[in-house]
Amino acid sequence: MKPFGMIPFFIPHVGCPYVCTFCNQSRITGQSGISHLTPDYIKKTITDYVGKKRNDKFWEVAFYGGSFTAIHRDLQHTLLEPAYEMLQQDIIDGIRCSTRPDAVGDKAITLLQSYGVKTVELGVQSMNDGILVDAKRGHTAQEVVDAVARLKQRGMTVGVQLLPGLKGETWETILETAIAVVKLEPDFVRIYPVLVIENTELADQYRSGEYEPLSTEQAIKYCAFLKEWFEQHNIEVIRTGLQSTEELDSGNSLVAGPYEPAMGELVVNEQYKQRIERCIDEHLSSENLLGKQNDYNFSHFDCYNTHKVGCRFYSDSGDILMKHRIVISYPRSSTSKVRGLKNRNILYFQEMYPQFSIDWCEDNTRNTVRCCIDGLQYML
């Protein structure tokens, strides 16, 4: 398959009937207004993006930043017409837009399809109604369910955008959202941990102490859980964390929150860290350690006179009876994912599991990641 080539056109806040507590699209995108989005500008931008690389990528125009199907129909026609012309001329391969769950009625979908739009991304943010109310979204979780069902019935590709870390977020609400989104069976998901942007109600709530943003580490954990959960249910996560922009990087717009240009990489690192830890937990469970005599030989010590401290086993006299050896093997292509950005996973396991003997080995004879503990293999 060809790599994806997105040609973005931002329409910040256009069509939005509400002002969400967290939202300032102009600050996030570094753009304001849409007066420049004339048909000639749109066609020239598409031509400049594609250039001589027509066959190198799957080129798709994307209208982001507002609620596309909620804007005036005349403006929708104006924006879609030049993109549709390029689609008919085989200069691009597709058109997509983002919008609100409560703005995709049958007429709205019919208009999109008349211009060749095949993908719609919904700003869902959360599937907890309390969080949606606090964020002033103006729609309910049930409206998300209805919108996704309607779009899929019409043959559209559906994406869901989530914002973990809104006011009132907990592990319970994250799990609630994860379970509900899987039931929707979207084609893909984007995950953007909440940032506090200047000139938003959330910024006022933060300064008054009413809202506490996620730490970077908590954001990574939330995102890693969601990504792992969706991938286990065959739902692709196409992005984690906001794309770096000059406006965000300058710090002028960012008040607080887990802004990290390498968020996507850090989340993948966390996924592998958690997988390795699950292998360790499984290996050290009572079932594995004490119930599988074919795999382990404990005849050299009395299990009833030992106790577990960390992951070493000590006799009552304090003598170490066993030290586990772990070998993490991975192909070169997975090195940075497994070891972590700046070796963060290696450092984590050194600090948290000093009693282990852990080797990190690049092995280009395989294309999968393996965790071998005391001779037993676990695939990650």
Give me the residue spans of the domains in the chain: 4-260, 322-379
What pLDDT is stored for residue 285 in this prediction? 77
Alpha carbon distance 137, 121 (integer Å): 16
Predicted pLDDT at 14: 81
Q: Where are the alpha helices (DSSP H) in the chain?
A: 25-29, 39-50, 73-88, 106-114, 129-134, 141-153, 171-184, 201-207, 216-232, 246-250, 263-283, 286-291, 335-339, 344-352
Q: What's the confidence (pLDDT) of residue 307?
A: 33
pLDDT tens digits for range 233-247: 999 999 999 877 777
CB 101 within 8 A of CB 143: yes
**pLDDT tens figures, 291-334:** 444 343 333 223 223 333 333 444 445 444 456 789 999 999 99
Alpha-carbon span 208 to 289, nearest angstrom: 52
* pLDDT, tens only, 193-204: 999 999 999 999
Helix (H, G, I), strand (E, B) or coil at 331: coil
User: How far from chain centre, in Å, is Cα 153?
Assistant: 25
Q: What is the mean pLDDT of residues 174-182?
A: 98
Cβ pair 35, 91 in contact under 8 A:
no
HSE-CB of 236 using CA atoms within 13 angstroms: 7
Superfamily covering domain 4-260 = Aldolase class I (3.20.20.70)
295, 355, 221, 198: CA torsion to nearest 10: -170
Q: How far is CA 18 from the centre of its chain?
A: 25
Assigned token pair, 147: 């919108």
CA distances (Å), 94 to each of 4, 85, 119, 208, in order? 11, 11, 8, 45
Of the two residues 31 and 83, the one the predictor is more confident about is 83
Model pTM?
Answer: 0.86
